[in-house]
A = this chain, B = another copy of it.
Amino acid sequence: PDGDAIAAAEARNGQLTKPPGALGRLEDLAIWMGGWQGTDKPHADAPQVLIFAGNHGVTAQGVSAFPAEVTAQMVLNFQAGGAAINQLSNLFGARMDVHALDLDRPTGDFTQGPAMDEAEFLMAFLAGWDAVDPGADVLVTGEMGIGNTTSAAAIAYSHYRGAAETWVGRGTGVDDAGVQNKTRVVEEAARLHAFPTGLEALRCLGGRELAAMAGAIARARTLRIPVILDGFICTAAAACLAAEHPGALDHCVAGHMSEEPGHAKLLQELGKEPLLRLGMRLGEGSGAALAIGVLKGAAACQSGMATFAEAGVSDG
C-alpha cells in the first residue's frame, strides 16, 4: 500500500464534520482502501464480482446433499441472472463474470490422490489471475462447486490441524451422518497427502474454483485492488496464499462471517474481523457482495463529507 496516501487519508479523515472516530470501522476501511488505491478519497464505484465454478471428484464419497449436476445448472442460472449473486451484483453496480472451469472434467477424488496435477492446478490458478479486470476498484471472488465445503475443510485442517470435525459443517445441508462422513474424508485426505500447506494444499485438496480464487486474489494485489473475501471456501483458498507469504492478504477484508462453523476459526487464524454477520451460508460470493455496500458507505463518507472548515462547524 501507499504510505503517503494512507497519511493523506488519515489527515482528511481527521478534518471531516464528525467527532473523531465516530464512524467507527468505516474510517479504518476508508483509510485502508485509500492506501491500496493510492488516494485520500477512496472509491468503490467499479466493483467486480468473479464467480468460479468447479466440479469435485470427492463427491464420489457422498459428501454433499445436492447432486454434482447442480454445479452446471447453477452456472446457467448465473448466466441467466437468476441467482442471489446476480441480484446483489446488480444492486451495487458490480460487473459480474462467471467462469466455469472444466465442469465435465471433475478434479480427482482427493481421498485417492491429488485433486489436480501441477499443470491442471496452474491452469486453474491462471484462470483466476487473468479474470481480474484491471479497471475494477474493488474485487469479490465467489464460487460454486458441489462438494467444495469438504475441500475447504480439508485445506483448513491440513494448515491448522486441531480436531478435524471442528472444520466440518453441513455445507448445503447434510445430516449428522453426512457430517461424520465428511469428517472421515477430511482426515483421510490430509493424512494421505501428509498435511500439505500453501499452494500444495490447494493443488492436492482444492478444486479448480478454489485455485482460481487464489489466483484472482493474488492478481488483485499486484493491481492494488482491495478484495472482499467471501465465506469458508473463499477464505480457505485465500489462507493458502497467506501460508506462502505472511501479509499476502493485507489487501483483503473479510466480508461476512458464514454460518459454516469452520469459517470463524479460519478468520481467527488469519486475524480478519468480518464486516457482516447475517447467518448466510450460500457461497457464490454473496456475503462479500453484500459487504460492497459497507465499502461504498466508507468511501462515500471519506470522499464526500465536508471538512469543519468547509462547513463552518465548530470542532469541539
Q: Residues on A close to B: CB < 8 A?
A: 16-26, 65-67, 69-70, 73-74, 76-77, 80-84, 86-88, 90-92, 172-173, 259, 275-282, 286, 289-290, 293-294, 296-297, 300-301, 303-306, 310-314, 316
- Per the bound structure, the CA–CA distance linking A173 and B22 in Å amounts to 9
Query: Oligomeric state, in number of copies?
Result: 2
**Complexed CA–CA distance, A281 and B21 (Å):** 8
Decide: B70 and A313 in contact? CB cutoff 8 A. Answer: yes
Residues on B with beta carbons closer than 8 Å to the beta carbon of A87: 297, 300-301, 303-305
Contact B18 A314 (CB under 8 A): no
A209 and B172 alpha carbons, distance in the complex (Å): 47
List B contacts of A314 (CB < 8 A): 66-67, 69-70, 73
State whether A306 touches B83 (Cβ < 8 A). yes
- Once the chains are docked, how many angstroms separate the CA of A275 from the CA of B279? 11
Expressed in whole angstroms, the minimum distance between the Cβ of A169 and any Cβ of chain B is: 12
B19 touches A173 (CB 8 A): yes
Q: What is the distance, in angstroms, from A275's C-beta to the closest C-beta of chain B?
A: 7
Contact A25 B278 (CB under 8 A): yes
A24-B259 in contact given A86-B304, A300-B87 (Cβ < 8 Å): yes
A88, B297: Cβ atoms under 8 Å?
Answer: yes
For the complex of A and B, list the 6 residue pairs with the smallest distance between their C-beta atoms, beginning with the closest.
A82-B306, A24-B279, A293-B293, A87-B300, A22-B282, A87-B304
* Residue pair B90, A300 in contact (C-beta under 8 Å): yes
Q: Which of B88, B301, B310, B313 contacts A88 (CB 8 A)?
A: B301
A312-B278 contact in complex given A22-B172, A172-B22, A294-B290, C-beta closer than 8 Å: no
> Cβ of A18 and Cβ of B306 under 8 Å apart?
no
**What are 16 A-B contacts with C-beta separation under 8 Å?**
A17-B82, A18-B84, A18-B282, A19-B282, A22-B172, A73-B312, A73-B313, A80-B306, A80-B311, A81-B306, A83-B306, A91-B293, A91-B297, A173-B316, A276-B294, A277-B277
Tell whether, in the assembled complex, residue B20 and residue A173 are in contact, meaning their CB atoms are under 8 Å apart. yes
**Closest residue of B by beta carbon distance from A306:** B82
